Amino acid sequence: MVKEYIASNKDRFLAELMEWLRIPSVSADSRNKQDVRKAAEFLVTKLKEAGADKVELCETLGHPIVFAEKTINPSLPTVLVYGHYDVQPPDPLALWNSPPFEPVIKDDKIYARGACDDKGQVYMHIKAFEAMMKLGLLHCNVKFMVEGEEEVGSDNLGIFVKENKAKLKADIILISDTALISLDNPSITTGLRGLSYLEVEVTGPNRDLHSGVYGGAVANPINILCAMIASLQDEDGRITIPGFYDRVAALSSDERAAINKAPFDLKKYKAELGIEDVKGEKGYTTLERTGIRPALDVNGIWGGYTGEGAKTVLPAKASAKISMRLVPDQISTEITELFIKHFESITPKYVKVKVTTHHGGEPAVTPTNSVSYKAAAKAFVEVFGKAPIPTRDGGSIPIVALFKKELGLDTVLMGFGFDSDAIHSPNEHYGVKNFTLGIETIVAFFKNFAG
């Protein structure tokens, strides 16, 4: 019944999603403020049309939150669906094969910024809800909370959650904003990494200098910054910040074996990325390195002359943006402090450093023995014909830990993207099949959860 409904409405579903993808809801860019709001308003309309009782656009200090609910019967359990309608900036624009906000379907994939992360995945929930309403299949209550600031740290959502605990009363959180191993190997994400994000600025001389007149005699902030950053990891790929690993939970050999049981083809992985070999912490597999071990990466670095041709200059300043991905039981604020303390301690006297902090978030693990996890696992069996593999994803959704802390609620991370969908990159895409199978699986989840 659901399958037929999806099949006969598929073209409309896709056309609606593409209309939504046309709105450049880039939360990080203040020039897109009105577009972000438009994307929220679009969602309000679609939730109303799909049959929600109450749909609100909740103002925050930043971008609005879309909240909706459908009460079937107050005595029945409630699923709170969370997602985000904001997207990452589309840069670098030149590398897109078609414009990021002019969605196209090619080879059965939708290409656009936000196609997978997370508009495409949120839209599966709206259409699953529509289908359940139309077919009389919704037998529990549902709430939707879709925010516009996930890609910039969810600070205002954190406030909203703390201030609206009664409104958000639910039994379980359901999120589609993570990855599936493949259509042949369905998976449910059971862990996400946390995040600490900082910016460092190294200052040397009081002005840019001629690199011939002064080179070799005055410390170059870029050279120094590079050496400082290089020293943050040792030969074995371990992070050298004192105390960094103190709270990292060691996994039992059974837990590690379970993680490595997931199908993973290292050769294919390297080929897909065009790399000769992988690199990471000694003693861990690639799946462990992204799933259960922390990481430190420079996300951007600049200084000096980067224009056309060559300018001989010894720059006064150099900067970098650095992220640390965290695992249980590391605490984001604590790691940030450890970083600052260490970075200052390794600063040579020739330069000064300034560290500023950006958003962070805590890691999360979700239970696999709950009623809701079992409902999700059964849904995958029904739709994909295979039991889902539990996986630990390397990305972060900071609000998941906050849902647990503030609302006492566990989350089911039922994502349908692929790691190869190029989220945050040029040519982001989402499989039409992932989209339709996702809708089907979500409907199956609701059926199993309510039953």
Q: What is the DSSP secondary-structure string of 16-36?
A: HHHHHHTS--BTT-GGGHHHH
150 is catalytic: yes
- What residues numbered 293-322 form the site for ligand BES, per CB under 6 A? none
Residue 163 gets which letter from DSSP?
H
> Pick from Mn ion, ligand BES, none: which does 390 bind, CB < 5 to 8 A by kind?
none
Q: Of 118 and 410, which CB lies nearer to Mn ion in the complex structure? A: 118
Helix axes 33-50, 2-21, angle to 10 degrees: 160
86 is catalytic: yes
Work out how close the CB of 241 gets to ligand BES at its nearest, in angstroms, rounded to a whole number: 20
Q: Which stretch binds Mn ion (CB under 5 A): 37-45, 111-119, 135-143, 186-194?
A: 111-119
Work out how close the CB of 83 gets to Mn ion at its nearest, in angstroms, rounded to a whole number: 8
- What residues numbered 155-184 form the site for ligand BES, per CB under 6 A? 177-179
Strand order in the sheet with 317-326: 295-303, 317-326, 194-203, 352-361
Is residue 194 classed as helix, strand or coil in its secondary structure?
strand
Candidate residues 14, 36, 195, 225; the one interacting with ligand BES per rule CB under 6 A: 195
Q: Of 87 and 351, which CB lies nearer to Mn ion in the complex structure? A: 87
- Catalytic residue, chosen from 16, 69, 86, 149, is 86
Candidate residues 90, 388, 398, 438; the one interacting with ligand BES per rule CB under 6 A: 398
With CB under 6 A, what is the number of residues at the site for ligand BES? Answer: 17
Work out how close the CB of 2 gets to Mn ion at its nearest, in angstroms, rounded to a whole number: 25
What is the spatial distance between Cα 171 and Cα 137, in angstroms, rounded to a whole number? 19
Buried b (16+ CB within 10 A) or exposed e, 183-194: eeebbbbbbbbb
Phi/psi for 260 (5° steps) reads -80, -5
Q: Of 35 and 393, which CB lies nearer to ligand BES in the complex structure? A: 393
> Pick from ligand BES, Mn ion, none: which does 195 bind, CB < 5 to 8 A by kind?
ligand BES
Report strand pairing: 104-106 vs 78-84: unpaired
Half-sphere exposure for 90 (CA within 13 Å, toward CB): 24
The closest of 192, 194, 154, 162 to 27, measured between CA atoms, is 154
Residue 264 gets which letter from DSSP?
-
Work out how close the CB of 413 gets to ligand BES at its nearest, in angstroms, rounded to a whole number: 8
The closest of 395, 437, 432, 421 to 116, measured between CA atoms, is 421
- What residues numbered 112-141 form the site for Mn ion, per CB under 5 A? 117-118
Would you please indicate which residues are annotated as catalytic (active-site) residues?
A: 86, 150
Query: Which residues are near ligand BES by CB under 6 A?
Result: 117-118, 150-151, 153, 177-179, 192, 195, 359, 361, 393, 395-398
Residues of this chain that bind Mn ion (CB under 5 A): 117-118, 177
